[in-house]
């Protein structure tokens, strides 16, 4: 029987901050209170002067994903290790619809993930083709704990569904208490602008943003809101990046539409100007980073509760995949963003971030009084767990919850970058940033997996999470 007593820390939840002890037994929180008695054989951790928070829940990651003729540089071990080192103990990955039936895709992703998983994890299912087989398969997904699907209004001829199919799919999914997630961009306009840009000889990274206009995301978000309003089916906007999307979400919610959304750190900290740098390909993601005006509105959306979650859309690629990187003593070389040196359309779209999320958001959000500590926990742990059917097992510090616990040092000063982050990649978006506040210890179901820069976890310790239907917040 594994016993753990965390003493004298300031326990932060979505609702409160209070000094308390936490007693853990066999991976579960069994008691919270002041001056708890020391249980025989319990390991005691002194958390005085520290914050104690639930492990982060990142509901939007892409691990070991084939894309652009290569594969994302983090697999289900390296990406989850990076997550844990940054204080995140639960992630939800996306399963591509590459074959039929849907369960065959799920089985393929379990084969990739199960033996490597370093934190607890779940799956969403991408739906890029709708037919009778898919309709029949949806309730089977629910039985396997996959209670959310993702659709696209972009990536024509690859991932995009027609509007009518999205609407029909949302109604079907809602019947089984499934949540539909929407990648909101205008694929037709993107294709037109990309073709015009290339014809004019524009190949630089900045044209990735210029050919994916912000108003296209706003227009697609409004279409999604219309689908949700007409069908009554819940909808979740992924990686919100524009001020207009915040306005659309606020309007829809004010009208009673069952609609929610997330944003990601890259949209809060970086702008299109990054794409004009010599190394601008590092910031290529879809949808692209925008403007300072968009950043301000996104922060407002978080503070005001219009946006319900912060995730990462973690999908890293090497900046220069022609060079070896040493990871855990082993050299590795994977083609990366150099594939698009002569053509921005060939740059793999994606960024590292799963391990960066909590440290950078604490420094810039809590440290600059944009968020309270309680809001921080709510956006990064509690509400994601509630929306995606994991609460109160995850995202909570209450008796009966999994003992996924982060002991956070609010006074830590960290010069951040590749040497600190755990991602398997050759760059970090936040290289050289001075962070204030950082994980001191991280526990997964009561087992210490990280402490002061040292990794104690291993492949396969993560548990697959069969999720229930989530809440509409």
User: Mean pLDDT by 10-residue block, N- to C-terminus, for the chain (473 residues)?
Assistant: 93 97 97 90 96 98 95 98 98 97 98 98 98 97 98 95 97 97 98 98 98 97 97 97 98 98 98 97 98 98 98 98 95 96 96 98 98 98 98 98 98 96 96 98 98 97 98 98
Distance between CA 375 and CA 304 in Å, rounded?
10
Residues in the chain, total: 473
Q: Structural domain boundaries of the chain? A: 3-53+396-455, 56-387
3-53+396-455 adopts what CATH topology?
Urease, subunit C; domain 1 (2.30.40)
Query: Given this chain, do its domains 3-53+396-455 and 56-387 carry the same CATH topology?
Result: no
pLDDT at residue number 113:
98
Per the CB < 8 A criterion, the answer to whether 405 and 366 are in contact is no
The C-alpha torsion from 209 through 215 and 217 to 223, rounded to 10°, is -160
pLDDT at residue number 39:
86
- pTM, full prediction: 0.98
Per the CB < 8 A criterion, the answer to whether 473 and 260 are in contact is yes
Q: Six-digit token pair at 43?
A: 């390991």
In the chain, the N- to C-terminal Cα span, in Å, equals 37
CATH code for residues 56-387: 3.20.20.140
């Amino acid at each position: 029987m594994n016993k753990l007593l965390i003493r004298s820390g300031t326990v932060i939840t979505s609702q409160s901050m209070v000094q308390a002890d936490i007693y853990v037994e066999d991976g579960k929180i069994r008691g919270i209170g002041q001056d708890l008695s020391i249980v025989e054989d319990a390991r005691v951790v002194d958390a005085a002067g520290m914050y104690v928070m639930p492990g982060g829940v990142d509901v939007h990651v892409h691990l070991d994903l084939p894309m652009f003729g290569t594969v994302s540089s983090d697999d289900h071990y390296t990406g989850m290790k990076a997550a844990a080192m940054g204080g995140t103990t639960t992630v939800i990955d996306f399963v591509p619809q590459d074959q039929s039936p849907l369960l065959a895709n799920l089985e393929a992703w379990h084969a990739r993930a199960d033996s490597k998983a370093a934190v607890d994890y779940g799956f969403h299912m991408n739906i890029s083709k709708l037919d009778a087989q898919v309709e029949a398969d949806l309730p089977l997904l629910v039985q396997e704990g996959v209670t959310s699907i993702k659709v696209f209004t972009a990536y024509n001829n690859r991932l995009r569904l027609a509007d009518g199919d999205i609407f029909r799919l949302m109604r079907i999914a809602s019947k089984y208490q499934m949540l539909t997630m929407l990648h909101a961009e205008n694929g037709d306009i993107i294709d037109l602008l990309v073709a015009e840009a290339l014809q004019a000889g524009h190949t630089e990274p900045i044209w990735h943003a210029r050919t994916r206009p912000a108003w296209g995301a706003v227009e697609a978000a409004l279409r999604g809101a219309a689908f949700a309003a007409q069908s009554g089916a819940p909808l979740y906007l992924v990686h919100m990046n524009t001020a207009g999307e915040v306005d659309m979400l606020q309007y829809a919610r004010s009208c009673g539409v069952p609609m929610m959304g997330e944003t990601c750190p890259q949209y809060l900290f970086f702008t299109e100007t990054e794409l004009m740098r010599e190394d601008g390909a590092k910031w290529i993601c879809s949808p692209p980073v925008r403007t300072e005006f968009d950043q301000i509105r996104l922060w407002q959306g978080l503070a005001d509760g219009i946006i319900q979650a912060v995730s990462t859309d973690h999908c890293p690629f090497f900046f220069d995949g022609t060079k070896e990187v040493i990871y855990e003593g082993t050299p590795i070389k994977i083609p990366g963003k150099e594939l698009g040196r002569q053509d921005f359309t060939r740059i793999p779209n994606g960024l590292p971030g799963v391990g960066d999320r909590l440290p950078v958001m604490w420094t810039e959000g809590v440290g600059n009084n944009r968020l309270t500590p309680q809001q921080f926990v709510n956006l990064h742990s509690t509400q994601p767990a509630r929306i995606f059917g994991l609460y109160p097992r995850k995202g909570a510090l209450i008796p009966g919850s999994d003992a996924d616990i982060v002991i956070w040092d609010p006074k830590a000063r960290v010069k951040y970058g590749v040497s600190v982050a755990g991602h398997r990649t050759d760059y970090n978006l936040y290289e050289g940033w001075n962070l204030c506040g950082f994980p001191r210890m991280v526990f997964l179901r009561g087992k210490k997996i990280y402490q002061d820069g040292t990794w104690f976890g291993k492949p396969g310790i993560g548990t697959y999470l069969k999720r229930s239907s989530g809440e509409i917040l």
